[in-house]
Amino acid sequence: MNDPYALARDALAGDGLRGGGLGDDEPADGAADADSAVLAARLDDNDPLSAFADRYRVPDGVLYMDGNSLGPASDAALASLDRVVDEWRESLIAGWTDADPPWFTVGERLGDALAPLVGAAPAEVVVGNSITVNLHTLIGTFLDELLAGNEPERAGVEQADGEWNPAVDPAVLVNDLDFPSDHYAVRAQLRQRGIDPAEKLRVVESRDGRTIDPRDIEAALDAHDDVGIVFMPTALYRSGQLFDVARITRAAHEAGAYAGFDAAHSAGAVPHEFREAGVDFAVWCTYKYLNAGPGSVGALFVAERHHGLTPALAGWWGHEKATQFEMTLTYTPADSAGAWQIGTPPLFAAAPLEGSVELLREAGIDRLREKSLALTDFLIALVDDRLPEIAVGTPREHAARGGHVALEHPDAERLSKALTDRGVVVDFRPPNVVRVCPAAPYTSFADVLEVVDEIEAILDSGAYEDYATGEGGVT
Ligand SMILES: Cc1ncc(COP(=O)(O)O)c(C=O)c1O
């Protein structure tokens, strides 16, 4: 079949769950619930990725809809982790050079594996540190560039003339729906350069509390000529809105600013073209859609034209590899994104990524994205049809939708607890969002239907009222 997921798209696009497309399978009584079950079964039968679910370790009885927070283990990730544990036991220190492949270049090697997922050349991606640390070093690096008088030079973008007035303190443009850690890091980097974040952290405000209108980013660039870095998410962590990376990058460069992105909520779920879009730098994690385990190593992209810059947080692991062990006290940064590594890479926090990313590459990022959109199409269509008390806070256009769906309900926190108690693992984000992530590699359309059945049962019975609110903590 050319488009195995067309039925899901059609269901959301107007045919509805009672509509056509089911052919001979259409139940005689036309009942919506039966239609949904038939539709889910048909979609699962057609799904070319359905066999991948068997290679992930989601416990029996669990409907895991939280892979946008922490992806599950897979056989492949556990195998690559086990291999490195064995290498440690058997080879000890020799593992750095003699393991196959050697640990010494783990950052570069896993960067090469990730590069196709974000549309980068291998040397433009490396793994190391965490998102927040990578953001510190990258924001710091590009602030230093601006303070040295260098703004982005990019062929084909006329307004970016490559010369920043070093007398102007650069501002960083962010938005008010960002993940908090990003603001903490940007503020700290501004402060360390004697720049007052109260003035120079410029924040684009959301009009609806859910999404950021790209025109507001462009308007902020028009209104303030001191913006030196535009730093945006590729997808918002709460609503799941997907940003237009190419458009934002273009606008930033036309205004003479660098364009950086936090891709935590899209890397591994949505294909990117960072190189083609002209993105200057990006950071992301590997514990969400890349399924490399809790606290797994972070990843970053630095465009080739910036290789050779001195990272703000320099360390020996970012030294030119060939001479790293000469142990000179002069730091020579690697001529690649590898320069932004800092210290010794955490091997056990990196090893699972080797297997997990191989699995995603086998499935194919474009096919994963197609299936993810179909799963969220189906989810939204079911919510529209059966859960009138819930609002969908995620954009409906495919181009603006990431991998999860934000379900808004005044009792979202209690609803999320009731679901988790019933084996439907979701999470709550204040004030009113239950995030549901039917991740493509291991979720079926029947799973999505079951999630909606559970939500409906909990809302209809009032079972969520048995739960307390406001306990905080990680959900
Ligand atoms: C969008 C986003 N940015 C940044 C972070 C912080 O990442 P880390 O704890 O790996 O530094 C997270 C964590 O979940 C996130 O979701």
Q: Is the pLDDT assigned to residue 161 strictly greater than 90? A: no
Q: Which atom of ligand 1 is nearest to the CA of 132?
A: 11
For residue 167, how far is its CA from the centre of ligand 1 (angstroms)?
A: 33
Active-site annotation holder among 52, 243, 287, 289: 287
Confidence of residue 17 (pLDDT cuts 50, 70, 90): confident
Identify whether the C-beta of residue 371 lies closer than 8 Å to the C-beta of residue 47: yes
Q: Do domains 5-9+36-74+364-459 and 104-361 have the same CATH topology?
A: no
Q: For residue 429, what are the CA distances in angstroms to 233, 393, 475?
A: 17, 12, 9
Residue type, position 90, single letter: E
Active-site annotation holder among 210, 288, 371, 401: 288
Residues forming beta bridges with residue 401, ordered by sequence position: 241
Is 288 an annotated catalytic residue?
A: yes
2: which residues sit within 8 A by CB, 6+ positions away? none
End-to-end CA distance of the chain, in Å?
39
Q: For residue 472, what pLDDT is reported?
A: 53
Q: Is the pLDDT assigned to residue 440 strictly greater than 90? A: yes
| CA nearest to 234, candidates 281, 187, 276, 172 | 281
> Which residue is it, tokens 């606290």?
295
Confidence of residue 157 (pLDDT cuts 50, 70, 90): confident
Residue % of the chain over a pLDDT of 90: 89
**Within the chain, how many helices (H) and strands (E) appear?**
15, 13
- Mean pLDDT of the region 360-385: 98
Active-site annotation holder among 262, 280, 377, 427: 262
Active-site annotation holder among 15, 109, 144, 179: 179
Q: What is the largest CA-CA distance in the chain?
A: 79
Q: Is the pLDDT assigned to residue 16 strictly greater than 80? A: no
For residue 198, how far is its CA from the centre of ligand 1 (angstroms)?
A: 23
Q: Show the tokens assigned to 303.
A: 């465009």
For residue 273, how far is its CA from the centre of ligand 1 (angstroms)?
A: 21
Instruction: Give the three-state DSSP class for 434.
Output: strand
Residue % of the chain over a pLDDT of 70: 93
- Class at the top of the CATH hierarchy for domain 5-9+36-74+364-459: alpha beta
For residue 335, how far is its CA from the centre of ligand 1 (angstroms)?
A: 27
Q: Give me the residue spans of the domains in the chain.
A: 5-9+36-74+364-459, 104-361
Q: What is the pLDDT of residues 182-220, one digit of tens each?
A: 999 999 999 999 999 999 999 999 999 999 999 999 999
CATH of 104-361, one of 3.40.50.1260, 3.40.640.10, 3.30.70.940, 3.40.50.1980: 3.40.640.10
Q: Is the pLDDT assigned to residue 357 strictly greater than 50? A: yes
> Which residue is it, tokens 């402060």?
191
Q: Is the pLDDT assigned to residue 402 strictly greater than 80? A: yes
Among the ranges given (2-6, 11-15, 316-320), the one the predictor scored with the smallest mean pLDDT = 11-15
352: which residues sit within 8 A by CB, 6+ positions away? 73, 77, 78, 80, 81, 291, 292, 293, 296
β-pair type (299-302, 281-284): antiparallel
Q: For residue 23, what pLDDT is reported?
A: 45
Q: What is the pLDDT of residues 27-73, one digit of tens each?
A: 444 456 778 999 999 999 999 999 999 999 999 999 999 999 999 99
Q: For residue 192, what pLDDT is reported?
A: 98
Probe residue for ligand 1, chosen from 181, 266, 283 as the CB with the greatest number of ligand atoms within 8 Å: 181
Q: Is the pLDDT assigned to residue 269 strictly greater than 80? A: yes
Q: Is the CB of 265 under 6 A from ligand 1?
A: yes
Q: Show the tokens assigned to 218.
A: 């462009």
| CA nearest to 260, candidates 243, 237, 279, 285 | 279
Q: For residue 153, what pLDDT is reported?
A: 78
C-alpha of 271 from chain center: 10
Q: Is the pLDDT assigned to residue 143 strictly greater than 90? A: yes
